Amino acid sequence: MKDAPTAMRGVRGATTAEENTAAAIVEAARELLSTLLKANQIQAQDVASIFFTSTADLTSAFPAQAARELGYSDTPILCSQELPVPGALPRCIRVLLHWNTARRADEIKHVYLRDAVRLRPDRRWPR
């Protein structure tokens, strides 16, 4: 049987920080990224890049710090601010991880934690 071809897949997730402190932001981002990696059995060498966003009310740390602390020192990582949409979920951290994998798109487990479950109740973790 022939191996499935490798494709780059996007893996999404979101969480919220308890407060606008460096410790709370990094802890929330670490929990999100660790859960996403474990849920999909992602190996570091298969990660092409990681893109974090956070809402404007989170200014005390970059979520990327959590990825660096988890050993992603050679992975391209970018942080950006979310659009300031009225009524948006506060203290929210989102991630888009680009993963080289043979898995189909419908096999990817996207992870939404804490208050971010409200964004995608169908993606609540754990299921």
- The one catalytic residue in 18, 19, 68, 104 is 68
- The one catalytic residue in 12, 30, 103, 123 is 12
- The one catalytic residue in 27, 30, 103, 120 is 120
Our answer to whether residue 69 is catalytic in this structure is: no
Give CA–CA dist 111/20, Å, rounded: 22
Our answer to whether residue 12 is catalytic in this structure is: yes
Our answer to whether residue 92 is catalytic in this structure is: no
- The one catalytic residue in 9, 72, 79, 114 is 79
Our answer to whether residue 120 is catalytic in this structure is: yes
Give Cβ neighbours of residue 99 (< 8 Å, ≥ 6 apart): 8, 9, 10, 11, 40, 42, 46, 47, 48, 108
Give CA–CA dist 64/61, Å, rounded: 9
Our answer to whether residue 112 is catalytic in this structure is: yes
Our answer to whether residue 103 is catalytic in this structure is: no
Could you tell me how many residues make up the chain? 127
Our answer to whether residue 9 is catalytic in this structure is: no
- The one catalytic residue in 27, 30, 31, 82 is 82
* Residues noted as catalytic: 12, 68, 79, 82, 94, 112, 120
